[in-house]
Chains A and B, each alone.
Chain A
Amino acid sequence: MAGIYTWALRLSYLSFALQMVVIYYLLSRRLWPVYPGLLAYISVNVLQGCLLFFLYRHWGYRDHRTAQVAWGSQILCLLARAWAIADICRLLLGRYRGVWGLAWRLLSALACGLVLYSLASAGLVWNQAVLKASIGLELSTVMVLVALFLFARHYEIVALPEIRALALGFFIYSSFTVLNDKILQIWLGPYVPGWQVFATLPFIGSICLWIWAVRQPVGKTAPELAVLPRDVYYALTPEVNLRLRVLNERLSRLWDREEHSR
């Protein structure tokens, strides 16, 4: 058992060092205006790590106050992560004013709905509630990322490799956390040491992806899009939809006729 704790501690040190590397690249390459959310998230994570390190030494690992501060500080981490993911959405779709206006409304509604559902379904028993809420919130992150890239694919928007790497980093971390928390929820006590190791390992993988992303050459600012006059959309889109509706109705009638003729 002590061996696993040692491994967990070593992995935490490694993750701490790698996070410092991300911060270094973000600051030295002046990328913080591009990825402010990522910088905030990694910084909050590092500060949370330092705080917990101090509390573990001061109050001990099994003290209930330590657990409460640990889970409480997680709220800040989650908020910073939401900011980082919002940045990914903006970097991917922000150039397209109309589509971005629609996307942020849809994605915000989806995120709010999922977060509220996660919190509401978590219940009021402290131990279970925190774990259930954590699973729900991580699952919300995963779903928002999937929805974002489905949206981008629908409009054939190609993501830059660094944006993909950032998103994949968050996706990997959140999806592994969902599984890890679910296993903890099922087995509880005996799984705690393993849970710590398996919480840090995917996070290290994610940080490696983020390091790769922030080391990519900074591209020139994309040229402004030639935006169409507002009237074009309002004139053409209802027309296209109408024709598609007519076609569907006719295909449906044909289908019904085939069914009746049998």
Chain B
Amino acid sequence: MSLLLLLPTLALVILLAGVLLWSLRSTRKAPLDRICAVDLEETGQRHATHCPQIRQALDARDFSYLTASGGPKLTRRIRRERRYVVKDYLVALRGDFDHLLRLARAIALLSPEVVAVHELERFRLTLQFHWRCRVIGLRLLFGAATLPQVSDASDLVSHLAVRLEAALKELGERAALAVEMASSLDRRNMNTV
């Protein structure tokens, strides 16, 4: 009985220890404060450029042709393989979006002041975004989403990715310019010492 009273506290301490160890674990990424103009320019490489191929992979006419020429067995196999391709595509798009978030965090880190509301909102939206992406990904993996839905998701994400690409390019250019400005100021300060 007495031990039962101790269990909630013990569980809480173990949970907190786990979270602390997880947060202390080092990441393989380069630290954000060492992000440079080149990293920012790399954000121009987007997976959205593969969108036409993904659309082709989901085209109903493609499957009709496959059924007519190779039979339903082949169609089923290819349909399954293409689901995995689309899933990987969505994962890659999520990676693109993560890159944008990383850029936003780098800007916050190098900024002389940040606004709590913006930072907390981004944190909340990021959690929401990852959760929704994961749910859609799982539905794709287990075939719970039908092909039109997959196509819809792909359309949506690729459309956003194109918008994102434009935004990233612009943000990248502006941020790179700002970093360059800050670096040149820094160099000037160093020269005067």
Would you call B109 an interface residue if the criterion is a C-beta within 8 Å of the partner chain's C-beta atoms? yes
B82 shortest CB reach to chain A, Å: 19
A61 shortest CB reach to chain B, Å: 26
Q: What CA separation (Å) do A254 and B101 show in the bound complex?
A: 22
B interface list, Cβ under 8 A from A:
2, 5-6, 9-10, 12-13, 16-17, 19-20, 22-24, 26-27, 29, 31-33, 97, 100-105, 107-116, 118-119, 121-123, 125-126, 128-129, 132-133, 135-136, 139, 145, 149, 152-153, 156, 160, 163-164, 167, 171, 174-175, 178-179, 181-183, 185-186
Q: Are B16 and A146 in contact (CB under 8 A)?
A: yes
Contact partner of A175 (CB less than 8 A), chosen from B17, B26, B33, B149, is B17
Would you call A158 an interface residue if the criterion is a C-beta within 8 Å of the partner chain's C-beta atoms? yes
Would you call A226 an interface residue if the criterion is a C-beta within 8 Å of the partner chain's C-beta atoms? yes
Q: Are A228 and B110 in contact (CB under 8 A)?
A: yes
Q: Are B24 and A159 in contact (CB under 8 A)?
A: yes
The B interface is mostly helix, strand or loop, or mixed, namely helix
Q: Are B122 and A241 in contact (CB under 8 A)?
A: yes
A103 shortest CB reach to chain B, Å: 10
- 1/0 per residue, CB under 8 A from B, across A73-101: the answer is 00000000000000000000001111101
- 1/0 per residue, CB under 8 A from B, across A136-176: the answer is 00010011011001101111111100001000100100010
- Chain A residues whose CB sits within 8 angstroms of the CB of B160 once the complex forms: 243, 246-247, 250
Q: Which partner residue on chain A sits nearest B148 by CB separation? A: A261
- Chain B residues whose CB sits within 8 angstroms of the CB of A124 once the complex forms: none
A122 shortest CB reach to chain B, Å: 15
Kindly specify which of A49-57, A63-71, A211-219, A230-238 makes contact with the partner chain. Answer: A230-238
- Chain B residues whose CB sits within 8 angstroms of the CB of A154 once the complex forms: 105, 123
Kindly specify which of A3-11, A23-31, A34-42, A179-187 makes contact with the partner chain. Answer: A179-187
- Chain A residues whose CB sits within 8 angstroms of the CB of B183 once the complex forms: 226
Q: Are B111 and A230 in contact (CB under 8 A)?
A: yes
Q: Which partner residue on chain B sits nearest A93 by CB separation? A: B109
Q: Are A248 and B128 in contact (CB under 8 A)?
A: yes
Q: What CA separation (Å) do A84 and B18 show in the bound complex?
A: 23
The A interface is mostly helix, strand or loop, or mixed, namely helix
Would you call A106 an interface residue if the criterion is a C-beta within 8 Å of the partner chain's C-beta atoms? yes
Q: How many residues of A contact B (CB 8 A)?
A: 66
- Chain B residues whose CB sits within 8 angstroms of the CB of A96 once the complex forms: 33, 109-110
Q: What CA separation (Å) do A255 and B132 show in the bound complex?
A: 8
Q: Which partner residue on chain A sits nearest B139 by CB separation? A: A258
Contact partner of B112 (CB less than 8 A), chosen from A155, A230, A244, is A230
A162 shortest CB reach to chain B, Å: 13
9 contacts between A and B (CB under 8 A): A96-B109, A96-B110, A98-B108, A157-B33, A178-B9, A228-B112, A229-B178, A247-B160, A258-B149
Q: Are B17 and A247 in contact (CB under 8 A)?
A: no
Q: What CA separation (Å) do A139 and B9 show in the bound complex?
A: 10
Also in contact, A247 and B111, with CB within 8 A (given A226-B179, A255-B132): no
Q: Are A235 and B113 in contact (CB under 8 A)?
A: no
- Chain A residues whose CB sits within 8 angstroms of the CB of B152 once the complex forms: 254, 257
Q: Which partner residue on chain A sits nearest B103 by CB separation? A: A240
Q: Are A155 and B132 in contact (CB under 8 A)?
A: no
Q: Are A232 and B133 in contact (CB under 8 A)?
A: no
- Chain A residues whose CB sits within 8 angstroms of the CB of B26 once the complex forms: 158
Q: Are A155 and B116 in contact (CB under 8 A)?
A: no
Q: What CA separation (Å) do A96 and B22 show in the bound complex?
A: 22
Q: Which partner residue on chain A sits nearest B14 by CB separation? A: A175
Q: What CA separation (Å) do A248 and B132 show in the bound complex?
A: 8
B104 shortest CB reach to chain A, Å: 4
- Chain A residues whose CB sits within 8 angstroms of the CB of B13 once the complex forms: 142, 175, 178-179
Q: Which partner residue on chain B sits nearest A143 by CB separation? A: B16
Q: What CA separation (Å) do A229 and B110 show in the bound complex?
A: 9
- Chain A residues whose CB sits within 8 angstroms of the CB of B185 once the complex forms: 226
